[in-house]
Amino acid sequence: MSFFIFNILLAITITISCYLLGLFLFKKYKKSWLNPLYTASVMVVILLLFTPIKGESYQEGIELFSLLL
């Protein structure tokens, strides 16, 4: 149970952090190709590729966002 909660919190933290960083870059440089949704997606993919976080565990944790969409 605690592992499941940890997955949820980790996935939400990663997603929101990447979005906020993307929003910061978009506001700072004012470039249309730095849309926060695009940059956050790219950052999450890069983060998942270069860290030991498995895609399956990230997907389980982010299930709440998928449900809301």
Residue 6 has pLDDT above 90, yes or no: no
First-last CA distance in the chain: 25
22-67 residue pLDDT tens: 999 999 999 999 999 999 999 999 999 999 988 888 988 888 778 8
Q: Where are the domains of the chain?
A: 2-68
Indicate whether 1 pLDDT > 80: no
Q: Which amino acid is at 50?
A: F
Cα–Cα dist 48/45, whole Å: 5
Please state, in angstroms and rounded to a whole number, the distance separating the CA atoms of residues 28 and 9. Answer: 28
Span 3-26, mean pLDDT?
A: 91
Query: pTM score, two decimals?
Result: 0.87
